[in-house]
Structure 1
Amino acid sequence: MACWQREFARDPGRRAFVSVGCVQRPERVAVIGVGILGASVGWNLSRHGAAVVFIDAGQPGEGVTNWSFSWVNASNKTERRSYFDLNVASMAAYRELAGTIGPGSWWHPSGHLRWAGDSAAEAKLLETAELLAGWDYRVEVYTGAEVRRRLEPALTVPGRTPVLFYPDEAWVHGRHLVGRLVGRAVESGAEHRSGTAVCDIGTGADGSIRTVTLSDGSRLDVDAVVNAAGPSASQVAGLITRHLPMCREPGVVTRIGCAQVPVHRAMHAPHIEIRPDGDASVVLHSREVDALIDTGEDPAELARLLHESAKHVVPELGNSRIAQTRVAHRPIPADGFPSVGAVPSVPGYYEAVSHSGITLGPVIGRLLASEILSGKRDKMLADFRPERFPQSENLPHIHD
């Protein structure tokens, strides 16, 4: 492999490379989409010396990242061992991140509770708990009475109901975390272009990334792009004629305003998911209510249904009010697993597209930044490479 020579440019718009052994190291990287994944990749690139340009049609962290249940876990990721391991690694990366940038208002490692409403679902939960324990994942089993006495006195969970407690899980205030990561990157010299979308990606004669053109009319010379555009990732991929198939899976999230938050941690109760969201807010979500989105039900009615379910579990929420509701589209590649890494057919183009972006942000940010800067592909991402999706003009595009 030929080595790249060191070339520096005084004009920041010119292309520049740094030789790292025999690997081309990009000096200017455009990160498209500034949610949790884009912010994590960009911050890791910036702190290791790359010039980063964050580009987002909105504001940092205010898209899907801000309308996620934001539950950091691996207990719900058992369908493939490599996927479980990736999530466990990111849980550890979160603890390291909190030590590096400080926990502040974004990090809440208070554990997670889960219980079922019928015997069949309960048996399935206990079976999963046994599997997780066999994989050395910490899980504790309490009765409802013990949970009310020791952890969450405001709950109405029946006294003899088995309740699983995952002490190593957490919740994250995604918008606050994104703001902190982008702020740190900007302090290190990163640029930030908000309120403008990428409308074209230009390549050179060799097929490698050369430019990005923005909706405000500006064009940037870059050496690489990271597609972290969430629900718009398939459209961004299409700018380089790449087919990135995505699932369509909308979800509704409601924020409840309350004078005093009556719960201390994230939880999955029958029919409803509940977590704190700071000093005066609670977040609600339900897969059952998500199923009503495509029926044309008004979002205000969906919010009311979420609130009603939550009041059955936490009666104190009866005095709260619905503050905000949003239907968001989850960025899920067609097979349900992340698409992370280089696309070999387009040198300089990388993807960071995944559901569970809140959980996976720190580990994807670290591994992908390392791959971009060193050219080395980490084995942890082997099952989640973008090239697993066949590129055929006959395949239909499935947009999220």
Structure 2
Amino acid sequence: MHVAVIGRGILGASIAYHLALKDVNVTVIDVHNNNSNATSNNFGCLNVYNYEPDHYFFLRQSGIEYQVRLASEINAIDFVHQVGTLRWAQGAGTHARLVEGICRLEKHGVPFELFEPGDVAKYLEPGLNPGRVVGPVVRVPLEGWSDGSRFSRCLLDAGGSHIANVSAEVLRYATTRRGVSIDLKSATIQADKLILAAGIGIPALMQHHGVKIPVNAEPGVMFISTSAAQGPLSHVIYAESLHFRSHSPTQVIGGHHGAFVPNGYNAEQEAALTAQLVFELYPSIKAGTAEPVLGIRPVPEDGFPVLGWLDERRRTYVATTHSGITLGALLGRLCASEILGAEDELLKHYRPSRFNKV
């Protein structure tokens, strides 16, 4: 069997790797020379906190656990950092949300620890100043971060001779009696099956099917500090709408998911404001500037993965998700299994048909 995968991010790479394990020949096609934009320019979250419903929480939890195991198999252990996270609230509203998250961890049996705010700098992060904190600080050892770009390359390398990489733009594709024909600028590839794992490129590719798969391209501005910290952070920090972690032994990377950025700010201004707020919480970093990093995240309309066949003859399969770093390794294994004929119960909630019901 020959399978073509459009998209070289962590999800596409994981599908290719798991197919290669079954002696399937895979051609991975991407317009970028290395990884997809979303995988490369990403904070790298490995997290489960406060996600719902239960089936999605379980999928994320399983995704982290599987990625940690897989890393040892593909020589990628240095790129998966299960260092734990610290979270706290600074207001009554966010404290209620924090408590909801604690209850959800208990429900699913995910270990966690609660600390007094004053103990954080004393025992966990000496350079951190959480400021005003309402309630406890929550530590979740399961969580952390992953270098998705390097992890993806390890997946593709581990596939060996079964995986061929092609850097080219897909012009069009069409299903045939024998499989799928994919037209590139300088060549045409014939495959038995085609996997669409192109992230924000999914809507354009779906025009060939007349099927609606709404995937939004959501920009995210992060920063990497150009100043040196006195020591690396041991955890990934989630402080209200801010999140940050060590990027190197002397640098910090951070971002936000709040609405504190004034309208009209450009990427440089947004990164500088986010960095300023982070530096207030992490004063051990020396004064400096922040280099902006812009990522574009594929986010399905309802926030959940989209996984499944697009045609009755099972020639074309779509695979896209937000939180690809948390979910990509596991979803790649599950999707590969389905592509080879074994449907998986874990994926029943995420079928593309949910967007096309009359």
Instruction: Bin the TM-score by the shorter chain.
Output: over 0.9
Q: 2-side partners of 1:280 and 1:239: how far apart?
A: 48
Seen in structure 2, the aligned counterparts of structure 1 residues 279 and 218 have a Cα distance that, compared at 3 Å, is farther
Deviates more, 1:58-67 or 1:228-237: 58-67
Give the drift of 1:250.
2.3
Q: Deviations over 1:107-141 (max 9, x none)?
A: 11100111111122113202320232122111211
In structure 1, the partner of 2:172 is: 200
In structure 1, the partner of 2:347 is: 381
Query: 3-state SS of the aligned residue for 1:285?
Result: strand
Aligned to 1:279, which of 234, 243, 249?
Answer: 249
User: Matches of residues 122-141 of structure 1 in structure 2 within 5 Å?
Assistant: 122-141=95-114
In structure 2, the partner of 1:370 is: 337
Over the matched positions of the two proteins, sequence identity in percent amounts to 29
Does the 8 A contact of 1:201 with 1:209 survive in 2?
no
Q: 1-side partners of 2:220 and 2:123: how far apart?
A: 32
The letter of the residue matching 1:243 is K
Q: 1-side partners of 2:289 and 2:259: how far apart?
A: 18
The letter of the residue matching 1:224 is K
Seen in structure 2, the aligned counterparts of structure 1 residues 230 and 82 have a Cα distance that, compared at 3 Å, is same
Does the 8 A contact of 1:212 with 1:219 survive in 2?
yes
Q: Deviations over 1:180-215 (max 9, x none)?
A: 112222x23311012x1111112115xx7421111x
In structure 2, the partner of 1:8 is: none
Give the drift of 1:259.
3.7
Q: 2-side partners of 1:256 and 1:173: how far apart?
A: 18
* TM-score under structure 1 length normalisation: 0.84
Q: Deviations over 1:134-174 (max 9, x none)?
A: 22111211112222122111110148751010011120011
User: Matches of residues 129-278 of structure 1 in structure 2 within 5 Å?
Assistant: 129-158=102-131, 161-185=135-159, 187-194=160-167, 196-205=168-177, 209-214=179-184, 216-260=185-229, 261-278=231-248
User: Matches of residues 310-325 of structure 1 in structure 2 within 5 Å?
Assistant: 310-325=278-293
Query: 3-state SS of the aligned residue for 2:298?
Result: coil
Q: 2-side partners of 1:387 and 1:62: how far apart?
A: 26
The letter of the residue matching 1:56 is D
Does the 8 A contact of 1:29 with 1:50 survive in 2?
yes
Q: 2-side partners of 1:361 and 1:344: how far apart?
A: 23
User: Matches of residues 341-356 of structure 1 in structure 2 within 5 Å?
Assistant: 341-345=308-312, 347-356=314-323
Give the drift of 1:288.
2.1
Give the drift of 1:352.
1.2
Q: 2-side partners of 1:345 and 1:253: how far apart?
A: 42
In structure 2, the partner of 1:361 is: 328
Q: 2-side partners of 1:218 and 1:289: how far apart?
A: 46
Q: 2-side partners of 1:120 and 1:204: how far apart?
A: 55
Listed as ranges, the gaps of 5+ residues in structure 1 are: 1-26, 393-400
In structure 1, the partner of 2:85 is: 112
The letter of the residue matching 1:153 is P
Query: 3-state SS of the aligned residue for 1:34?
Result: coil
The letter of the residue matching 1:131 is R
Deviates more, 1:61-70 or 1:281-290: 281-290
Does 1:300 pair with 2:268? yes
* TM-score under structure 2 length normalisation: 0.93
Query: 3-state SS of the aligned residue for 2:162?
Result: coil
Does the 8 A contact of 2:94 with 2:240 survive in 1?
no
In structure 2, the partner of 1:93 is: 66
The letter of the residue matching 1:44 is H
Q: Deviations over 1:301-332 (max 9, x none)?
A: 01111111111110123434323421x33211
Q: 2-side partners of 1:179 and 1:50: how far apart?
A: 18
Query: 3-state SS of the aligned residue for 2:265?
Result: coil
Structure with the greater alpha carbon radius of gyration: 1
How well do the aligned residues superpose, as a CA RMSD in angstroms? 2.1
Does 1:64 pair with 2:38? yes
Q: 2-side partners of 1:58 and 1:354: how far apart?
A: 19
The letter of the residue matching 1:90 is G
Seen in structure 2, the aligned counterparts of structure 1 residues 40 and 348 have a Cα distance that, compared at 3 Å, is same
In the alignment of these two chains, the number of paired residues is: 356
Give the drift of 1:176.
1.1
In structure 2, the partner of 1:54 is: 28
Give the drift of 1:377.
0.9
Does the 8 A contact of 2:219 with 2:296 survive in 1?
yes
Listed as ranges, the gaps of 5+ residues in structure 2 are: none
Q: Deviations over 1:339-371 (max 9, x none)?
A: 012224352211111001110011101100111
Q: Deviations over 1:269-326 (max 9, x none)?
A: 133110122334322111125865xx44211101111111111110123434323421
Seen in structure 2, the aligned counterparts of structure 1 residues 153 and 284 have a Cα distance that, compared at 3 Å, is same
Q: 1-side partners of 2:304 and 2:16: how far apart?
A: 22
Does the 8 A contact of 1:310 with 1:317 survive in 2?
no
Q: 2-side partners of 1:389 and 1:159: how far apart?
A: 43
Q: Which one has a larger percent strand, Structure 1 or Structure 2? A: 2
